[in-house]
């Protein structure tokens, strides 16, 4: 057998045997891209504007007066929570704390042409603890939440008849809240959100010990105050979920 014939036979064998050996090797499939998941703990920060509506009822002697006024300002704080996703549904809990400066004032006697008795309310911190449910489409989630709320208020009344006098009371109130919003995971473990919250603290009595000294018509020291607060929050969250929660695609 000539040398050229041996080379030709060896080449033909390599062409036919090579694919057969390759066909016997196990198939290596490309790993699937993990689906995005909201499951896991998260922490974050928020800020935004707020509006507080205060309804105060003064009663004393022959006087019964109701006056409404608003407080406006900004707040900022932090939140922490946990999500658990089942299909498109995301279940969770969340707690938030905000330092606030919701400040409002008006004269207490709405029908009076002269602002002799003035009312002032300032909410300096807020807190909420709520259950949350969301509907997710990959990296976008729309959610609603509801639970308990707390606010710390400072109430002031000032009497400008001579000599000027004033009285102030601090009070922490407990109420309920409802909220809704949308959150979007924009990079890795980071997500951004915007939400609206409504907080209702009902009507509670506030006692001003020196109120009767302002004017003899105030024979009592207690004022009924109803308070409701509305908030808009813009926030960022950082999630501590697994690798499936940080897929970028």
CATH number, residue 167: 2.40.160.20
184 has pLDDT over 80? yes
pLDDT band for position 7 (cuts 50, 70, 90)? low
Average pLDDT of span 47-74: 83
Q: Which residue has the tokens 């207690």?
A: 222
Lowest mean pLDDT among 77-81, 189-193, 204-208: 204-208
- What's the pLDDT band for 239 if we cut at 50, 70, 90? very high
**Residue 223, domain member (yes or no):** yes
Which DSSP letter does residue 138 get?
Answer: T
Radius of gyration of the chain (CA): 33
**Res 215: pLDDT:** 65
Residue 20: inside a domain = no
Total number of domains in the chain = 1
32 is a domain residue: no
96 within some domain: yes
Query: Does some domain include residue 12?
Result: no
Is 17 among the domain residues?
no
Domain interval for residue 67 = 40-246
Contacts of 231 (CB under 8 A, 6+ apart): 48, 49, 50, 51, 75, 98, 126, 196, 197, 198, 199
Instruction: Please tell me the distance from the alpha carbon of residue 205 to that of residue 108, in angstroms, as a whole number.
Output: 16
Measured distance between the N- and C-terminal CA atoms of the chain, rounded to whole angstroms: 61
For residue 216, is it within any domain? yes
Residue 21 lies in a domain: no
pLDDT per position as a tens digit, 91-130: 999 999 999 999 998 877 766 655 667 888 999 999 999 9
pLDDT interval class at 218 (50, 70, 90): low
- DSSP 8-state symbol, 209: T
Q: What is the DSSP letter of 246?
A: G
Has residue 32 got a pLDDT over 80? no
């Amino acid at each position: 057998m000539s040398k050229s014939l041996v080379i030709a036979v060896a080449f033909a064998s390599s062409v036919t045997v090579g694919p057969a050996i390759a066909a016997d090797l196990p198939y290596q499939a490309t790993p699937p891209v993990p689906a995005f998941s909201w499951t896991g703990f998260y922490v974050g920060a928020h800020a935004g504007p707020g509006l507080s509506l205060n309804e105060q009822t003064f009663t004393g002697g022959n006087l019964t007066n109701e006056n409404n006024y608003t407080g406006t300002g900004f707040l900022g704080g932090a939140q922490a929570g946990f999500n658990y996703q089942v299909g498109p549904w995301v279940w969770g809990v969340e707690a938030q704390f905000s330092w606030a400066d919701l400040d409002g004032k008006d004269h207490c006697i709405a029908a009076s042409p002269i602002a002799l008795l003035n009312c002032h309310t300032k909410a300096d911190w807020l807190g909420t603890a709520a259950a949350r449910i969301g509907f997710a489409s990959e990296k976008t989630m729309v959610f609603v939440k509801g639970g308990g709320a707390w606010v710390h208020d400072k109430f002031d009344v000032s009497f400008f008849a001579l000599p000027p006098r004033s009285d102030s009371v601090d009070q922490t109130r407990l109420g309920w809240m409802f909220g809704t919003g949308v959150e979007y995971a924009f990079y890795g473990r980071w997500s951004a959100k915007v939400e609206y919250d409504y907080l209702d603290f009902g009507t509670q009595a506030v006692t001003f010990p020196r109120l009767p000294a302002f004017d003899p018509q105030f024979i009592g020291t207690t004022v009924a105050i109803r308070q409701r607060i509305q908030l808009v929050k813009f926030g960022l969250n950082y999630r501590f979920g697994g690798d499936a929660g940080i897929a970028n695609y």
